[in-house]
Structure 1
Amino acid sequence: MSSNSTVHTAQAILQQIRDKGVTFGSIFETLDVAATAQDSEAQALYDTLMKDALPWAFKVVQRELCTEILHLSQQCHGFHFNNVKATANFLDGSFMREAAMRMNKEAPLLWKLIKGLLDSNPKSRRVGTEDGEESIAEQEALGRIGDLEEGDLGDIGGEDGQMDIDSAEESEEENDKMQVDEVPDVDENGISSKESDGKNKKKLKRQQRAMRRRASLHVIKSVVCISIFLQSSNERCNYLQSVLGLFYHSAAVPEKVIEVLAHAGLSISLSSIHRSVKSLSAEATKRIRNSVQTLTTAFAYDNFDIHFKTSQPTVEHSTSFISATSATAIPLFNVVDPSALRCSRELWEKDPLNPAPLLTPVQVDLNDMLRFHKESEAAKPPDEPTKLNPFLERYAWHIRDILLQHGPRDLKKRFATKLGEPDPINQIPVHKTEQIPCRAMNIKESTPDGNVEVMECLLNQGGIGDPHDDSFDSQGDVDMSESVLLVHGDLLTKERLDSVRTSRAIEETPKRRFQFAIFVPGLFHFKMACVDALWRTWIQPTAARTDPNSLYQHVGILRPKETGKVGTNPGFRRMHDIIHHDLWASMLDCWKLEAASRNPKWTTLDEFMKSEPSWQLIEDMSRNIVKKYVGTTPDVSKERRKPSDERDDIFANQILRNYNELLYIETSHAMNAGDIGRVEETFLQWIYIFRATGKHKYAAQMLRFMINLRDVYPPELSRIIRWNWLCNPTGKLKAFRGVDWLNQVIYGGSGSNRTMEHIIEESILIELFRECHVTVEKGFHLVNCTITHHPPNMERTLRRLARQFEEVSPHEFKPGRRADYQVPDKIAQGMHEIQTAKRIDPTTDDNVDGSAEVEAEDLFDD
């Protein structure tokens, strides 16, 4: 048959098919159904058509799919990544969703094929098979992918998102229960319809979650498969592989594993990764300069130690221990007038170190302490006759918070909206703090000279300096002679910088005199000092451990396997938790006693809850608890001045401990809330405690800084310092941290990469690596990759500690009761020492205020 005749016959057949309204698809489907019904003639015809038509159809589909891949691999569709010119803006938490939408739009046939192959087993399908249902499930999956919130340290990866799902399910269940009739229907097996409905709903929700998860994973796997096709067709089309490659690199994945993944199409090559890192490092260097040269950026730096171990030390390659320095730049928040930071000359004119000051330098004396007392919240009268003074009102708030959080559950449900927050004093607006990691420095900052090198290096990285210096680049550097820079750090950093300023006071230029450096005490280290002071007060003395109501005995209940560690060197996080847990149990005991004093029938908090108390009653009771069971210095002094047969040493110790622990809780809560005014309100009492516990340097430095903020610095500079004393890495409520907290983690590399040169090269990319992790976690819907866990259920532990309170009854005054050890009131002791010495500055070096070693768990702050 000639070709013309074949074409003529084909055209006639097609015309007949169109006239009948038939499609090729319907023909094959009809034959498929007939063949399934074991129609021999239909089966033969079907086999013949499949033998001839399937290869042809496959070629047609293959050609169309290849066309779609080539179309999708074009640069205009956004899947190209240039490793040599890599920039940080390529990281986007929603890249997986955008890639899926673009692939679905530009290559619909390819997208549908991949999705179908991924769901090829009908028995394992949990999503709808209808086109409409499948489309809806896919759209929902696209909406979920990339929408996970970025978490704080400890919940990065979406733990909050998972918690939101759980809480939403609980609220739905509660709403469902409220709509159910009060009289339950019971079946023949004794199971109520309410219970049956509840089980069915939970089962249905589990199935729905599984279906949503499967739909999300299908979308992710489809994007991965198509990305492999694109890179195989065009090596420049490697966006997903580049993101994953940097993720592997930042996670210290072994090079051999990365090579395997690159050959599998799931990463770029090692050389490409290194080119990307080099390009990103160059961009990060420019970013530091751009920020610092505005002269509205602060620095924070701290030392870090690395032990480079060698399996077999030799003369050429011995095991080495290196102490280096890491730093970060933090653009200042809410600098309304940048000229407020150009006050270096004004401050130098009244600086005590100035050999020829134009104004009388401000000195620290006892009158300052008296003035701070008069201006404190504790000295103010109550706002209303039924209330306490503003400082103790916040204690009452914490006592109410403990009742709602750890008392009967129904109380929290009833009064959660009533609790609110303590009245703010100087609340920092919630904002997300930007930080720009600086390049690590192979400098030991434990000496004044080391600090000079660190600051010089940071100024050089930032591109600022003094035009009189030979190293100043007039074309690229910015003159900082008139400006001040905020520097955050620990106490030792402050002492070394002070030593530098003292020795250089006679230099000619402001930069050489280091008069630009305004040191801001790191509140994370301050908080660690507070915990250490309480440990010295309540646990360190051996005599303080034997009383059955001592904090050390309570540690035996809270942490029975850690009493040895707590007695010697507990560390910050362990003591932080012990203080919280001990106070929770103590306040619950106070609530029980206060309830019983109001009504003898309220023998337990559960009985009290059943009476449906009003919020006004709870507020009144919390204030009464403060009056009865929280011992201020006058209260404790009054108790201990009584004759021995009229006083109760156990009671006096307990009310004093309640006060100390509430002081720490208030400090911690105020820091997390970002209320720097409330944080400052606690300083005076901590200064006395530091003085009495041997932390003289902390006492002196914190007092000096308080005076600088109030009397030395210009008002606008003080406002800028206060609003940048805390940072908020996530931009969430109650997520403020000390700025020095930001500088505690650094990327160390692994294997052959674990060298000081590698750390210096890549330390500048710490923040970018973190963003890369967040991007991958969002893109791949990793909802449970938190580095911490939910808080443990303390209910049983608190009940056991409550039994100890019941046995000892420390909150019930019993005249003549003795204690093995009278815990000193460190606030009163500190006052006495300062008044006796008639000076604030430390007279001796107690050598106890060094920078404490920070462990990983210490960073999981509450």
Structure 2
Amino acid sequence: MNQKANALQSVIGVFLHSCKTPEKVVETLARMGISISLTSIHRANQSLYEESAETISHLGRCLLVGFGYDNFDVNLKPSVSTVEKLGDSLKHLMSMLVFPLQHGITLDDLHCSEDLWKKSALNPHGSVPRHTWEELLKAVQPKHTPGLSHPLNITPHAQASHTAEPAGRTTSEEFNAWMFLHDLVNHGPLYFASFRSEIGQPPEVESIPLVETPITPMHAMDVNNSTVAGNIGAIKQILAQAGIADIHNPEFVGIDTKDMRDVKDYIVLFHGDLGTGEHIQSLQLRCSIESSPWRRFQFVIFILGLFHVKMACADAIWRIFIQSLNGCLDETCMMEDITILRPKETGTISSKPTFRQMHQVIQHTGICRRLDCWRVEAAQRNPLHTSLEEFAKSKSSLNELQSIAVIATRKYVASRLLGRLRRQPTGQRDEQWENATLLNKYCLLYEELLYAMNHGDIGRVEANFIPWIHIIKVVGKHKYTTHLTQYLYSTRFVYPPGLSRTVRYNILVNPTGKNGKWRAVDWCVEFNNLQTKSEHGGEGSNRTVARIIKESPLIQVYHDAKEKISNNILLDHLTSAHADPNMARTFESVSRHLAEATPHKIKPGRQTAFTIDDMIDKGAAKLPATPVPVAEIELDDIVGDGLSAQPDADDIIIDL
């Protein structure tokens, strides 16, 4: 370390560079002794660049790492058009990140490449494990948990008949009851807020141990990973940066491999979106005839990013309840809620909403409808409780509220009884009530997925996959069905126990080490892309592909420099972490509409313009008896249209 270096000046210099400060300002501050000079800033960046390359290589050579990568587009508009710059200003690059595998993972857990090849459907001499859907469900679904004691369980259409409650409830039913109570406490009358610190959290199924996982950006590449050849180049360049190779392969003859780690019989985890996964599966299919494990990419294990799975689930709800024009005609439909929640965005939401729009609409609609269920249930128990405010005056205890929440879960959320109810005579049915219970069910499924991902409850995440596999199969997102099924099947029946635990416990990471801040790896990649485009996108001579590639591993360094300066100089008035908007009056408007439309009060003979099918039952009928390995699907089924849309800035920020 240079004893003459001024750490504060150096940090300020990097801070000024990261903020794209004009050179004249930097030179002025340098002459004032506040910052290092412009030349020193460039030297510091070069030193940081070389240090980052060594850090990535050192981290990769231990093999106990996972990689995530995805393409991103950045618009580099020239200030003045020239003959050399008449091409498209939109540049297609690829970003990558690396993170250490946590939770006690060892090299022995990854030493199974040859064993997996023997079980692979790509191996003409392999023996693929065969198990039925029933076996998979049994392996994934958590056991029932004891329910809270309460006297009654009221069946949906026979509100006057009382039957004994089953001895236990599923983890989803436990979560639904907790969610009902959570919404009442956080969005209901003020009295219920007194229980906020007492309701706790829903029971854990299988939580990943809380530990901070550092995310290290790698050097971006000018590679198009939307093709099989592009993915081959991408994977090889990722491994080259990480210092991983098959040093005995003829491909590395004449190359100095003394600082490289031999992949041997180990596997390497790659995270990405659906498009990335499909192209990796395709290249493995095409290269499966090669003789060496390295050339057939036998060591590659792809893990589907859960951020894009969440986007697919939100899109499925849109397809079920909003896409059809007939589905928006009833006064109790979801679109009627949206006209109050987002009156100026109904056109966009009904045609092509963003993920952020649907994400918030699902949450807000679900909250309002669950509050309406509370209102209806309270009025049925006591006719004097005509509103939640009147119900609050009864000063119900927490135990009483928990009991009512359990009953509301069974009463206003569609269950397996729905099919039997729909076989009743038309005059005895309330078709709009049936649709409303399905909407409550799917909103709660989405909420459960969000909660499980944010809290690192991998057991709950995987159990939640089962209904979503059925739902997204029916709405036409077959590729997500295939990859989610393959993930569950592989972690239960194909991977050795050590690798299965490695995959399951590292599909989510926690960059901050804080509870409730777990993130999908593909979200981290997208967030890195967003920061890169924010730093380097735009107009000017400095906006070049070469500079993006060179400074891409320094994105986190720039972020840290900004944070240090902001904290030390108390720039606390500058923030992007805005408070949630006050939705109280908006929710009141939706609640008044629901009180008039009465979606949760049965009116025998009420018909609907559009019957919402039970997508879980419908999807179960479409699935094969035995899950099919991805490799057995025709190549044309893997590569084609319909890949997941790229999230925009708002879609990524909504998870911060």
TM-score by length of structure 1 reads: 0.70
The equivalent of 2:90 in structure 1 is 321
Question: In structure 2, the residue corresponding to 1:519 is in which secondary structure?
Answer: strand
1:549 maps onto 2:315 in alignment:
no
The equivalent of 1:461 in structure 2 is 241
The equivalent of 2:368 in structure 1 is 585
- In structure 2, relative to structure 1, the CA distance for the partners of 1:798 and 1:353 (3 Å cut) is same
Question: In structure 2, the residue corresponding to 1:618 is in which secondary structure?
Answer: helix
Distance 2:188 2:452 in 1: 23
Alignment-mate amino acid for residue 729 of structure 1: P
For residues 408-433 of structure 1, the C-alpha deviation after alignment (integer angstroms, 9 at most, x for no partner) is 223222x2232111111110122211
Distance 1:254 1:368 in 2: 64
Alignment-mate amino acid for residue 775 of structure 1: K
Distance 1:828 1:408 in 2: 37
Distance 1:81 1:671 in 2: 45
1:738 to 520, 541, 547: 520
Alignment-mate amino acid for residue 335 of structure 1: G
- In structure 2, relative to structure 1, the CA distance for the partners of 1:293 and 1:753 (3 Å cut) is same
- In structure 2, relative to structure 1, the CA distance for the partners of 1:840 and 1:238 (3 Å cut) is closer
Alignment-mate amino acid for residue 686 of structure 1: W
Question: In structure 1, the residue corresponding to 2:365 is in which secondary structure?
Answer: helix
8 Å contact from structure 1 (residues 341, 717) kept in 2:
yes
The equivalent of 2:182 in structure 1 is 401
The equivalent of 1:512 in structure 2 is 295
- In structure 2, relative to structure 1, the CA distance for the partners of 1:848 and 1:617 (3 Å cut) is farther
The equivalent of 1:283 in structure 2 is 51
The equivalent of 1:627 in structure 2 is 410
Distance 1:765 1:476 in 2: 23
Shift of 1:521: 0.8
Q: Cα RMSD over matched residues?
A: 2.1
- In structure 2, relative to structure 1, the CA distance for the partners of 1:839 and 1:543 (3 Å cut) is farther
The equivalent of 1:346 in structure 2 is 115
Shift of 1:609: 2.1
The equivalent of 1:205 in structure 2 is none
Structure 1 residue runs of 4+, over 6 Å off?
A: 836-844
1:534 to 306, 317, 320: 317
The equivalent of 2:607 in structure 1 is 818
- In structure 2, relative to structure 1, the CA distance for the partners of 1:81 and 1:856 (3 Å cut) is farther
Distance 2:629 2:439 in 1: 26
Range with greater deviation from structure 2 (420-429 or 795-804): 420-429
Range with greater deviation from structure 2 (737-746 or 704-713): 737-746
Shift of 1:839: 6.8
Distance 1:407 1:848 in 2: 45
For residues 58-81 of structure 1, the C-alpha deviation after alignment (integer angstroms, 9 at most, x for no partner) is xxxxxxxxxxxxxxxxxxxxxx96
The equivalent of 2:548 in structure 1 is 759
- In structure 2, relative to structure 1, the CA distance for the partners of 1:848 and 1:599 (3 Å cut) is farther
- In structure 2, relative to structure 1, the CA distance for the partners of 1:445 and 1:664 (3 Å cut) is same
Distance 1:336 1:442 in 2: 33
8 Å contact from structure 2 (residues 284, 296) kept in 1:
yes
Structure 1: segments with no counterpart, 5+ residues: 1-79, 83-235
The equivalent of 1:636 in structure 2 is 418
For residues 775-804 of structure 1, the C-alpha deviation after alignment (integer angstroms, 9 at most, x for no partner) is 112211222322131000000000000011
Distance 1:381 1:721 in 2: 26
Distance 1:824 1:840 in 2: 28
Q: Map residues 67-82 of structure 1 onto 2, 5 A cutoff.
A: none
Distance 2:312 2:22 in 1: 39
Q: Give the aligned length.
A: 623
The equivalent of 1:648 in structure 2 is 430
Shift of 1:385: 6.5
Shift of 1:680: 0.3
Q: Map residues 208-247 of structure 1 onto 2, 5 A cutoff.
A: 236=4, 238-247=6-15
8 Å contact from structure 1 (residues 694, 848) kept in 2:
no
Question: In structure 2, the residue corresponding to 1:419 is in which secondary structure?
Answer: coil
For residues 723-757 of structure 1, the C-alpha deviation after alignment (integer angstroms, 9 at most, x for no partner) is 11101111111000101111113424253221000
Distance 2:558 2:451 in 1: 30
Distance 1:609 1:764 in 2: 55
Distance 1:270 1:638 in 2: 75
Question: In structure 1, the residue corresponding to 2:515 is in which secondary structure?
Answer: coil
Distance 2:178 2:468 in 1: 20
The equivalent of 1:617 in structure 2 is 400
The equivalent of 2:154 in structure 1 is none
For residues 610-666 of structure 1, the C-alpha deviation after alignment (integer angstroms, 9 at most, x for no partner) is 22211110111001101110002x232123212111111110110000000000000
Distance 2:629 2:452 in 1: 26
Alignment-mate amino acid for residue 553 of structure 2: I
1:422 maps onto 2:202 in alignment:
yes
The equivalent of 1:657 in structure 2 is 439
Distance 2:140 2:247 in 1: 45
Shift of 1:542: 1.5
1:448 to 216, 228, 249: 228
Distance 1:854 1:391 in 2: 29
2:64 to 296, 299, 302: 296
Greater per-residue helix proportion: 1
| Structure ranking higher on relative contact order (CA contacts 8 Å, 6+ apart) | 2
The equivalent of 1:792 in structure 2 is 581
Question: In structure 2, the residue corresponding to 1:510 is in which secondary structure?
Answer: coil
Distance 1:840 1:693 in 2: 21
TM-score by length of structure 2 reads: 0.91
1:495 maps onto 2:278 in alignment:
yes
Shift of 1:242: 1.5
Shift of 1:848: 5.5
Distance 1:481 1:570 in 2: 47
Shift of 1:448: 0.7
Q: Map residues 354-393 of structure 1 onto 2, 5 A cutoff.
A: 354-357=123-126, 360-363=127-130, 368-375=132-139, 377=141, 380=144, 382=146, 386=150, 388-393=169-174
Rg (Cα) greater in structure: 1
The equivalent of 2:308 in structure 1 is 525
Alignment-mate amino acid for residue 595 of structure 1: A
Alignment-mate amino acid for residue 337 of structure 2: H
8 Å contact from structure 2 (residues 368, 587) kept in 1:
yes
8 Å contact from structure 2 (residues 485, 627) kept in 1:
no
The equivalent of 2:100 in structure 1 is 331
Question: In structure 1, the residue corresponding to 2:247 is in which secondary structure?
Answer: coil
1:854 maps onto 2:634 in alignment:
no
- In structure 2, relative to structure 1, the CA distance for the partners of 1:264 and 1:851 (3 Å cut) is farther
Question: In structure 1, the residue corresponding to 2:98 is in which secondary structure?
Answer: strand
For residues 318-344 of structure 1, the C-alpha deviation after alignment (integer angstroms, 9 at most, x for no partner) is 243221100000101123432111111
Distance 2:282 2:5 in 1: 56
Question: In structure 2, the residue corresponding to 1:432 is in which secondary structure?
Answer: coil
Distance 1:476 1:277 in 2: 24
Shift of 1:500: 0.9
Distance 1:837 1:294 in 2: 38
1:681 to 449, 455, 463: 463
Distance 2:628 2:27 in 1: 66
The equivalent of 2:163 in structure 1 is none
Shift of 1:834: 2.2
Alignment-mate amino acid for residue 182 of structure 2: D
8 Å contact from structure 2 (residues 185, 196) kept in 1:
yes
Distance 1:81 1:487 in 2: 39
8 Å contact from structure 2 (residues 323, 350) kept in 1:
yes
Question: In structure 1, the residue corresponding to 2:181 is in which secondary structure?
Answer: helix
Distance 2:597 2:140 in 1: 36
The equivalent of 1:97 in structure 2 is none
Shift of 1:383: 5.0
Distance 1:263 1:548 in 2: 69
Alignment-mate amino acid for residue 184 of structure 2: L
Distance 2:189 2:112 in 1: 55
Distance 1:827 1:267 in 2: 62
Alignment-mate amino acid for residue 388 of structure 1: R
- In structure 2, relative to structure 1, the CA distance for the partners of 1:857 and 1:708 (3 Å cut) is same
